[in-house]
Structure 1
Amino acid sequence: MKYFALLLAMGTLAACDRNDSSNDKEQRTASEEGSEVSDPRDLLKFTEAQGSVPSLPKALDMLSVQLALDRLGFSPGVLDGKNGESLKLALKGFQKASGLEETGALDEATMAALAKVNVTAPTRLVRIPAMFANQTFYPDFPADAAAQAKLPALGYRSLMEALAERFHTTPETLLALNSRDTQIGADKIIVVPNLPDVSPPSAELSARGWDMTLLSLGVAAEQPDIESIIVDKSEGWLRTVDGEGKTIGQFPVTTGSSHDPLPIGNWTVKGVARNPEFHYNPKLFWDVSDSKEKQLLKPGPNGPVGVVWIDLSKPHYGIHGTGEPSTIGRAESHGCVRLTNWDAARVAGMVKPGTKVVFQK
């Protein structure tokens, strides 16, 4: 994510956005110093903070609608409060699932159906947990795969980037929600989109740190069971369908390019790799010289496939996350189906080996 110019514009909003292990002890809260934590995952909880929440900027007036759709499983992509194509796509998916006319408009019938989700306020005031703030960041994250292979993990560039993913939004939106006097860092208070908290995942999801990844993305471990996935190339969505043929979720996607078109047809899920390493093979990329060497890239949200890879029966093709959530539906991929990291994590919780996957025009 290319946030360097944005961070320069943020003034003191990013003043505490640094990873300095020498300050770890100073940044711990009194509660962390004085008591033992029964479950370390509780240290990733964003607790409610006291104080008045600023009024929502007019430019973000669709945030409550986006939040309702996100909670119902009809993702608008990033929660940016804008009435754009991604919101229209999410509304159409929700309308189809609700038996309404698929207009993509926020008409009275759609508003009534969305009212089942009680979004009491579009934003909330939270305290940033020290464990979240003090993770290792990579501000000079390289673009070259060979340089990335030297990193111990393909983590976030900054705390601002990590916060944006946690609350399914963008750094620009966080900037708009907060004053320029706001500082971010351990135990600091910040205004964020009003996403509900999720319960800590069960112990069996701790392999490769997946439980911590879910908490860091604000994604619930429990997801509905599905029988199939449908990906529509022309519309740019992925829908999850239950055993009765009902659409229970929809997510915006990027699907292939003119060089690597989406392989139209019927496939199946072979398996799911959570927090996967990535075997970088230049020969599989049309825009990379074959003279480049193969690389093994460590896991991380900024890796080529984000936090999850859903392997398909079509060789070398999968459904996966991305380190560039704002580009979903607006950029090309190398043939695979790409979602935001949080949406990819949701879909990963729905599928199992044998789940049907349909790629259609």
Structure 2
Amino acid sequence: MFPTRPRTGLFPHLALAAATLVLPLSAGWAQTAAPASGTSAQVAAPTPRALASITPAEIEAAVYDGTDLPAGQSALTAKVQILLDRAGISPGVVDGWRGGMSESAIMAFQRRSGLPMTGRMDHAVWDLLQGYAAAPLTMAYTITEEDATGLVDRIPSDYAEKAAMSSQGYTSVLEKLAERFHMDEKFLAKLNPGARFQPGETIHATVPAKPIRASVTRIIVDKETRRVAAYDAKGNMVADYPATVGSADTPSPHGNHVVDAVALNPTYTYNPHRNFKQGENDRVLIIPPGPNAPVGNVWIDLSEPTYGIHGTATPSQLFLNQSHGCVRLTNWDAWELAHMVKPKVTTVEFLPPGVRIADVTGISPVAAATQTAAVAAIASTRPPARGDRLPPAAPAAVAIPAAATMAEAAAATAAAVVTPEPLVITPDVPASNEPLVPEAAPALPVQEEPEYPSDAVLPESLPGQAPGSVTLYPQAGQP
């Protein structure tokens, strides 16, 4: 049973499950999955190859060859991750590794585009992603004195030591810049061999996507694929993020809930008398805020007591960790989502086991298969820049009889198939070598003014509480 959440006046006193405790996860969820256990004669899979180094030119020039993404780490995968981020489909960190988060992002992109959801790169995905490739993917950046401020020597694990600190800040310029550019620290270092990451030094980095500014009224949490999708009032998906979602011992809640409030840069209140005891700490401790705090730099409070959506100090480990029931995103994804939700309006749906986002949004694998023949129509105009993330529909005046005929035939075939399992059709080769995206981009339509356009309308703290602070209680009975 979860502890009750006290309330003061009209505003909730936020609580938190012990979402910050990091537990090891089975190898099957790792970014690069280990082989399944079998007989003693089974031969272990080779270790995926890591890049010794990488250059900006290699990322910019990477070209898809018609097969799946290379195993291990590659410039092509890094390029795809950057383009997915620009498309509003977060790959987590940009690290060049083909693995769980990258494949889940490709599947989310396929889901939104009406393609078969395989999680594998193909010509349709690659050609649609080219609509986001007009701007450079990498850039030069000169480190400033400000980049080197606010750092801490280390982040201890003991809560008493954490509470004695003035901040749970970044531990290095490298860590700080990696989060700013949506990159893995090791990958940023590989892009800059020999760099010392000191003020005045010019380095290379990938170009991060600009934050999405829209009004999110519906969030769907998919426990099976570990994705969190955000939708506006018209049912358009505006963003999709990878997440750590609960665990077998302390699962996330079920059903529908509402966003109660948002806190940026929250403090963390450790109370051993209410919830759990860590080590020899037997008194209430206030852990200061910062990106390396137990809930990162964002807390989105839910109407279900003790649960929320928040950031993390280890963005590259989202698919390797478990949480104690809460939903954990990268700090930058959580920050972006916090500026789009609307307290008391935005709903959060936790899907039950076996149910995925496509099942509740009307885009099932069968429906996606019938839309494969209409890819040419979907890509008849270049996908717009980050803002409207839905692939544009074909103009009404343009007649595509062949695609329409093929779509009708595919629909009839799918309807005739009787099977309890979803049907996924994946062509071995593309139907045509002709690019799906034209070289010339048409003028973009005028975008509607978002209802939540800037940081000015998002409070730095909750009403009735100290600036930047919120009390966060872990779940009862957790060690």
TM-score tier after normalising by the smaller chain length: 0.7 to 0.9
When residues 266 and 151 of structure 1 are mapped into structure 2, their CA distance, relative to the original with a 3 A threshold, is same
Deviation readout 1:145-183 (Å, 9 max, x if unpaired)? 111111111101111111111111111101211122x23
Q: Does 1:136 align with 2:150?
A: yes
CA contact under 8 A between 1:64 and 1:121: conserved in structure 2? no
Q: Does 1:278 align with 2:260?
A: no
CA contact under 8 A between 2:180 and 2:208: conserved in structure 1? no
Instruction: Measure, in 2, the Cα distance between the counterparts of 1:284 and 1:327.
Output: 29
When residues 314 and 178 of structure 1 are mapped into structure 2, their CA distance, relative to the original with a 3 A threshold, is same
**AA matched with 2:92:** G
Q: Does 1 or 2 have the higher relative contact order (CA < 8 Å, sep 6+)?
A: 2
Instruction: Measure, in 2, the Cα distance between the counterparts of 1:292 and 1:60.
Output: 50
Any idea what SS the aligned residue of 1:62 has?
A: helix
Tell me what 1:109 maps to: 124
When residues 344 and 164 of structure 1 are mapped into structure 2, their CA distance, relative to the original with a 3 A threshold, is same
CA contact under 8 A between 1:285 and 1:334: conserved in structure 2? no
Q: Does 1:67 align with 2:82?
A: yes
Tell me what 2:161 maps to: 147
Instruction: Measure, in 2, the Cα distance between the counterparts of 1:329 and 1:226.
Output: 25
Any idea what SS the aligned residue of 1:229 has?
A: strand
When residues 283 and 251 of structure 1 are mapped into structure 2, their CA distance, relative to the original with a 3 A threshold, is farther
Alignment size in residue pairs = 285
Residue 245 of structure 1: how far off its partner (Å): 2.3
When residues 65 and 288 of structure 1 are mapped into structure 2, their CA distance, relative to the original with a 3 A threshold, is same
CA contact under 8 A between 1:308 and 1:348: conserved in structure 2? yes
Tell me what 1:190 maps to: 203
1:270-309 correspondence runs (5 A)? 270-282=260-272, 288=278, 292-309=282-299
Instruction: Measure, in 1, the Cα distance between the counterparts of 2:280 and 2:222.
Output: 31
Q: What is the identity percentage for the equivalent residue pairs of Structure 1 and Structure 2?
A: 39
Instruction: Measure, in 1, the Cα distance between the counterparts of 2:140 and 2:76.
Output: 18
1:155-194 correspondence runs (5 A)? 155-180=169-194, 182-194=195-207
Residue 309 of structure 1: how far off its partner (Å): 0.3
1:1-361 correspondence runs (5 A)? 53=56, 55-56=58-59, 59-133=74-148, 135-180=149-194, 182-195=195-208, 220=211, 223-282=213-272, 288=278, 292-354=282-344, 355-360=346-351, 361=353
Could you list the runs of 5+ residues in structure 1 that have no partner in the other structure? 1-51, 199-219
CA contact under 8 A between 1:263 and 1:359: conserved in structure 2? yes
TM-score by length of 1: 0.74
Any idea what SS the aligned residue of 2:301 has?
A: strand
Residue 322 of structure 1: how far off its partner (Å): 0.7
CA contact under 8 A between 1:121 and 1:194: conserved in structure 2? yes
Any idea what SS the aligned residue of 1:192 has?
A: strand
Instruction: Measure, in 1, the Cα distance between the counterparts of 2:99 and 2:275.
Output: 31
TM-score by length of 2: 0.56
Any idea what SS the aligned residue of 1:116 has?
A: helix
When residues 157 and 285 of structure 1 are mapped into structure 2, their CA distance, relative to the original with a 3 A threshold, is farther
CA contact under 8 A between 1:308 and 1:320: conserved in structure 2? yes
Residue 107 of structure 1: how far off its partner (Å): 1.0
When residues 226 and 122 of structure 1 are mapped into structure 2, their CA distance, relative to the original with a 3 A threshold, is same
When residues 119 and 128 of structure 1 are mapped into structure 2, their CA distance, relative to the original with a 3 A threshold, is farther
CA contact under 8 A between 1:64 and 1:119: conserved in structure 2? no
Deviation readout 1:2-30 (Å, 9 max, x if unpaired)? xxxxxxxxxxxxxxxxxxxxxxxxxxxxx
RMSD (CA atoms): 2.1
CA contact under 8 A between 1:241 and 1:249: conserved in structure 2? yes
Instruction: Measure, in 2, the Cα distance between the counterparts of 1:66 and 1:329.
Output: 16
CA contact under 8 A between 1:137 and 1:155: conserved in structure 2? yes
From the two aligned structures, give the one with the greater helix fraction: 1
When residues 282 and 92 of structure 1 are mapped into structure 2, their CA distance, relative to the original with a 3 A threshold, is farther
